[in-house]
Structure 1
Amino acid sequence: MKNWLNKSFIFLFASLALMSCEKDEDMVFVSEGTAPALTVSANSVVLEEDNADNNALKLTWTPADFGYQAAVNYVLEMDMKGNNFAAPVTAELGTDTEETFTVAQLNTLVNRLDIKAFNPNEIDMRVRASISPKIESPVSAVKTLTITPYLTEPPYATLYMVGDATDAGWNNGDAIAMLRDPNDLFKFTYTGKLKPGYFKFLGKRGGWAPMFGAGANNTLVFRETEADPDPASIQIQTEGYKTVTVDLRNNTYSITDYDASTKPVYNSIGIIGSFKPDATTDVWSKIVPMNKSSFNPHYWTVEYTFADDVEMKFRIASGWDSNWGAPAGEQEKLFNKAGGDNIIIPAGTYFIVFNDLTANYLFIKKN
Structure 2
Amino acid sequence: MKNLIKNILLLGSVVLMLAACKKDETRVVAKSDATAPALTATYENLVLNEADAAAEAIMFKWSKADYGYSAAISYTVEVAKKDSNFVNAKSVSAGANSQLVLTVGAFNSLLNQLNLVGFAQNDVEVRVKSEIGGGVAPVYSKSIPLVVSPYLDKPAYQTLYLVGDGTFGQWDNNKATPVFRDPANAFVFTFTGNFSNGAFKFLGKLGQWYPSWGSNGSGGVMFREKDADPDPANFPITSGYHKVTLNLRSNTYTDVPYDASGKTTYASIGIIGPFTDWGSIIPMTNTTLNPHIWTIDHTFDSDTEMKFRIAEGWSVNWGPANDGTASDVYGVGGNGGGNFKVKAGSYTIIFNDMTAEYVFIKK
> Counterpart in 1 of 2:159?
158
1:287 to 277, 281, 289: 281
> Counterpart in 1 of 2:256?
256
> Counterpart in 1 of 2:269?
269
**CA distance, structure 2, for counterparts of residue 217 and residue 165 of structure 1:** 20
Q: Tell me how far 1:219 sits from its aligned partner.
A: 1.6
Q: Quote the sequence identity (%).
A: 42
> Counterpart in 1 of 2:191?
190
For the pair 1:108 / 2:109, whether they are aligned, the reply is yes
Q: Tell me how far 1:133 sits from its aligned partner.
A: 5.5
1:353 to 345, 350, 353: 350
For normalisation by structure 2, the TM-score amounts to 0.91
**CA distance, structure 2, for counterparts of residue 332 and residue 180 of structure 1:** 15
> Alpha-carbon deviations, 1:97-146, whole Å to 9, x = none?
22211112111211222522211222211111111162121212222122
**CA distance, structure 2, for counterparts of residue 83 and residue 330 of structure 1:** 40
> Alpha-carbon deviations, 1:303-348, whole Å to 9, x = none?
0111111111101112211111112111110111002221111001
> Counterpart in 1 of 2:325?
330
**CA distance, structure 2, for counterparts of residue 117 and residue 242 of structure 1:** 28
> Counterpart in 1 of 2:246?
246
Q: 1:19 to 1:133 in 2, by over 3 A?
A: closer
Instruction: Give the counterpart letter for 2:310 in structure 1.
Output: I
> Does 78-87 or 246-255 show the bigger shift?
78-87
> Alpha-carbon deviations, 1:38-59, whole Å to 9, x = none?
2322222211122222221112
**CA distance, structure 1, for counterparts of residue 267 and residue 12 of structure 2:** 110
For the pair 1:18 / 2:20, whether they are aligned, the reply is yes
**CA distance, structure 2, for counterparts of residue 138 and residue 208 of structure 1:** 44
2:304 to 300, 307, 310: 310
> Alpha-carbon deviations, 1:49-87, whole Å to 9, x = none?
222222211122222232333321111122222333244
**CA distance, structure 1, for counterparts of residue 167 and residue 317 of structure 2:** 27
**CA distance, structure 2, for counterparts of residue 53 and residue 314 of structure 1:** 42
Q: How does 1:65-104 map to 2 (within 5 A)?
A: 65-104=66-105
**CA distance, structure 2, for counterparts of residue 229 and residue 28 of structure 1:** 61
**CA distance, structure 2, for counterparts of residue 223 and residue 27 of structure 1:** 61
Residue 275 of structure 2 aligns to a residue whose secondary structure is coil
For normalisation by structure 1, the TM-score amounts to 0.90
Q: Tell me how far 1:13 sits from its aligned partner.
A: 8.0
Instruction: Give the counterpart letter for 1:142 in structure 2.
Output: S
> Does 335-344 or 68-77 show the bigger shift?
68-77
Q: Tell me how far 1:243 sits from its aligned partner.
A: 0.4
Gaps of 5+ in 1: 277-282
Instruction: Give the counterpart letter for 1:212 in structure 2.
Output: W
Q: 1:244 to 1:12 in 2, by over 3 A?
A: closer
**CA distance, structure 2, for counterparts of residue 170 and residue 133 of structure 1:** 62
> Alpha-carbon deviations, 1:170-226, whole Å to 9, x = none?
222111111011111111111011111111111122122222221134322222334
Q: 1:318 to 1:140 in 2, by over 3 A?
A: same
Q: 1:172 to 1:16 in 2, by over 3 A?
A: closer
Residue 105 of structure 1 aligns to a residue whose secondary structure is helix
Q: CA RMSD in A?
A: 2.2
**CA distance, structure 1, for counterparts of residue 14 and residue 272 of structure 2:** 91
Instruction: Give the counterpart letter for 2:251 in structure 1.
Output: N
Instruction: Give the counterpart letter for 1:252 in structure 2.
Output: T
**Are 2:112 and 2:153, in contact at CA under 8 Å, matched by a contact in 1?**
no
Q: 1:226 to 1:43 in 2, by over 3 A?
A: closer
Task: Report how many residues are paired.
Answer: 354
Gaps of 5+ in 2: none
Q: Tell me how far 1:92 sits from its aligned partner.
A: 2.1
Q: Tell me how far 1:270 sits from its aligned partner.
A: 0.6
**CA distance, structure 1, for counterparts of residue 312 and residue 12 of structure 2:** 107
Instruction: Give the counterpart letter for 2:172 in structure 1.
Output: N
Instruction: Give the counterpart letter for 2:312 in structure 1.
Output: S
**Are 1:218 and 1:254, in contact at CA under 8 Å, matched by a contact in 2?**
no
**CA distance, structure 2, for counterparts of residue 192 and residue 249 of structure 1:** 23
**CA distance, structure 1, for counterparts of residue 227 and residue 146 of structure 2:** 30
Q: Tell me how far 1:227 sits from its aligned partner.
A: 3.8
Instruction: Give the counterpart letter for 2:331 in structure 1.
Output: N
